[in-house]
A and B are shown apart, each in its own frame.
Chain A
């Protein structure tokens, strides 16, 4: 039963990730007075790409061909670790939050290698930019996550969420900082607007797009899907760590259904917030990204400090 629910949850995660980006795009279009595409448009795009034959450059090695599969499966594994509608599942017991960060790093590593593999100028540029950003974003994310794990005194995400849930409503200063830090990191890592623009193909601003420029067909579909999954993963992390209410604690059908409704509502609200911020904020220069990320790191550090100083038992 437990394994069954875990599989269902991961499947839901993978299947509903494009819907989240569709909803995000819909909100943005509404805010910018544009006519919005249907919510199912990401699915149609993926389907279209999967049907097409991938074109691979002559000098591409096996790395280039296998990378989409590696990236996608790393994201699916990461999705199986994060509690979506229920806590205390066998998959989340097997891996903790550091492994989760490791999955992200693994996927990014292969994506950067594949971008370098083909030997075009854009690939190398995108890879170096992505690595610069991630080397600054990762400590900030770990700092934010450690604040949570120190509060719950476990690095297991499921147990930590259960701990937060068990305590009820406790106003924690450290969580405020950690949440802001994680939000800033999420925006940088998923390539959203102040750091990177996911819809542009302008050479000055591309980061993620520059790396996947050579991909086509089902390879591109897998990479796109993986990045949508990554966005959903960060959304679920923020929603479930800092507001875990509604998540199912026992595996009955009503509890699971309620959990699904709760996370759908939370993600919808988060996506609206993201759409508003993307509409209001302009893309920043690449050389200012380090300032942005050092601010995220600072917030994580303050979260940790205020946990140690304000909240720890004396």
Chain B
């Protein structure tokens, strides 16, 4: 089935999927925390648009609520909170020297190919849109994990974690036409609680060991050797 024979909704969803994948790559290559948080908010905005688009074209009104939730939580509240923490802990001036950035990016591309390869058997049982959306959301999840592996700052790890959640959310919106409202509210609340907890942990970690660099946490031991 060619792309030009699909309806406009499908094309729009596919383009959104591509853009969400792109923001994941942008996050992967980002060395500055404030910009990382900005790109994360951008990904949230794309998710909001996708949800609103799905709600409009599938005519399911409860998706508008989850679009609103996404907007408030992932575009405004969590980025605002992370940004405030970065500014308060005075991390915004650090540039994280990513070790061999190019390799990480090409590794990300390989992960994307891998997720398409893994999901390719599904094509027999589902539509093309669903396959693509699932593949992109799987690769967003994997890229979020790669982000957590390759960065050293704890805040970057949190952003990676949140972007994993974004990938799952995208899959839920596109492939299954949205989750039931109860599940969605539960997840949104969980994410909120996670963000707050992370914030508290950041303060404790940075007051006790004076850094949020996870490489330095490796050297922590119960007993001095």
The contact of A314 among B1, B106, B108, by CB within 8 Å, is B1
Number of B interface residues in the complex (CB < 8 A): 29
Nearest chain A residue, comparing its CB with the CB of B10: A171
The contact of A173 among B14, B105, B128, by CB within 8 Å, is B14
Which residues of A have CB within 8 Å of B17? 173, 310
Within 290-305 of A, Cβ neighbours of B (below 8 Å) are at 290-291, 294-295, 298-299, 301-302, 305
The contact of B4 among A167, A176, A177, A302, by CB within 8 Å, is A167
Kindly provide the distance from the CB of B155 to the nearest chain A CB, expressed in whole angstroms: 22
Kindly provide the distance from the CB of B109 to the nearest chain A CB, expressed in whole angstroms: 6
Given contacts A295-B105, A310-B3, A311-B2, contact A305 B15 (CB under 8 A): no
Q: Please encode chain A, from 127 to 152, with 1 for each CB lying within 8 Å of some chain B CB and 0 for all others.
A: 00000000000000000000000000
Report yes or no: A171 in contact with B25, Cβ–Cβ below 8 A.
no
The contact of B15 among A173, A294, A295, A302, by CB within 8 Å, is A173
Decide yes or no whether A204 CB sits under 8 A from chain B: no
Given contacts A309-B116, A314-B1, contact A290 B102 (CB under 8 A): yes
Report yes or no: B102 in contact with A171, Cβ–Cβ below 8 A.
no
Decide yes or no whether B12 CB sits under 8 A from chain A: yes
Given contacts A302-B112, A309-B116, contact A295 B14 (CB under 8 A): no
Nearest chain A residue, comparing its CB with the CB of B113: A305
Given contacts A173-B17, A302-B109, contact A291 B3 (CB under 8 A): no
Which residues of A have CB within 8 Å of B29? 291, 295
Report yes or no: B18 in contact with A310, Cβ–Cβ below 8 A.
yes
Nearest chain A residue, comparing its CB with the CB of B13: A171
Report yes or no: B109 in contact with A301, Cβ–Cβ below 8 A.
yes
Decide yes or no whether B50 CB sits under 8 A from chain A: no
Kindly provide the distance from the CB of B76 to the nearest chain A CB, expressed in whole angstroms: 24
Instruction: State the CA gap A121–B109 with chains docked (Å).
Output: 40
Report yes or no: B2 in contact with A176, Cβ–Cβ below 8 A.
no
Instruction: State the CA gap A302–B11 with chains docked (Å).
Output: 17
Decide yes or no whether A1 CB sits under 8 A from chain B: no
Which residues of A have CB within 8 Å of B12? 171
Q: How many A-B residue pairs have CB under 8 A?
A: 69
Which residues of B have CB within 8 Å of A290? 102
Report yes or no: B14 in contact with A302, Cβ–Cβ below 8 A.
no
Within 100-140 of B, Cβ neighbours of A (below 8 Å) are at 101-102, 105-106, 108-109, 112-113, 116, 123, 128, 132, 135
Kindly provide the distance from the CB of A311 to the nearest chain B CB, expressed in whole angstroms: 4
Report yes or no: A170 in contact with B11, Cβ–Cβ below 8 A.
yes
Instruction: State the CA gap A172–B14 with chains docked (Å).
Output: 8
Given contacts A170-B11, A291-B102, contact A306 B2 (CB under 8 A): no
Report yes or no: A298 in contact with B14, Cβ–Cβ below 8 A.
no
The contact of B106 among A177, A298, A306, by CB within 8 Å, is A298
Instruction: State the CA gap A49–B135 with chains docked (Å).
Output: 57
Which residues of A have CB within 8 Å of B128? 310, 314
Q: Please encode chain B, from 20 to 49, with 1 for each CB lying within 8 Å of some chain A CB and 0 for all others.
A: 011001000100000000000000000000
Decide yes or no whether B19 CB sits under 8 A from chain A: yes
Instruction: State the CA gap A314–B126 with chains docked (Å).
Output: 13
Instruction: State the CA gap A37–B17 with chains docked (Å).
Output: 44
**A-binding residues in B (CB < 8 A):** 1-4, 8, 11-12, 14-15, 17-19, 21-22, 25, 29, 101-102, 105-106, 108-109, 112-113, 116, 123, 128, 132, 135
**B-binding residues in A (CB < 8 A):** 167, 170-174, 176-177, 180, 290-291, 294-295, 298-299, 301-302, 305-306, 309-311, 313-314
A-B CB proximity, top 6 nearest: A173-B18, A171-B11, A311-B3, A171-B15, A294-B102, A170-B4
